[in-house]
Amino acid sequence: MFGSLKAGDKGKIIDISHVGHLVQRRLLDLGITEGSEVCVKCVMPFGGPIMIESCGQCVGIRRKEAVQIEVERI
């Protein structure tokens, strides 16, 4: 889960089926799919969003949605 990764950690997305349909669609539109490698750029304090980078793009994801995405640490 993204909740276990810290800034600078890299991971591989395993499962995005637990997040809402709109979030899945947004991630897919940005090229972030199951099997994509991502890097956590920044974790905002106080339950704020998590910034991830994939394919040269930085994306902010709400923490409550990010913790529903299954990620394997690389």
Residue ranges in 5-73 assigned as alpha helix (H): 21-29, 63-66
- Of 3.40.50.2000, 2.60.200.20, 3.10.180.10, 2.30.30.90, the CATH number of 2-73 is 2.30.30.90
Task: Enter the pTM of the model.
Answer: 0.84
* Distance from C-alpha of 28 to C-alpha of 7, rounded to nearest angstrom: 23
pLDDT digits (tens, 9 = 90+) for 2-60: 778 899 999 999 999 999 999 999 999 999 999 999 999 999 999 899 999 998 899 99
Is there a contact between 67 and 9 (Cβ–Cβ < 8 Å)? no
* Distance from C-alpha of 73 to C-alpha of 2, rounded to nearest angstrom: 9
Within 8 A by CB and 6+ apart from 42, the residues are 7, 50, 51
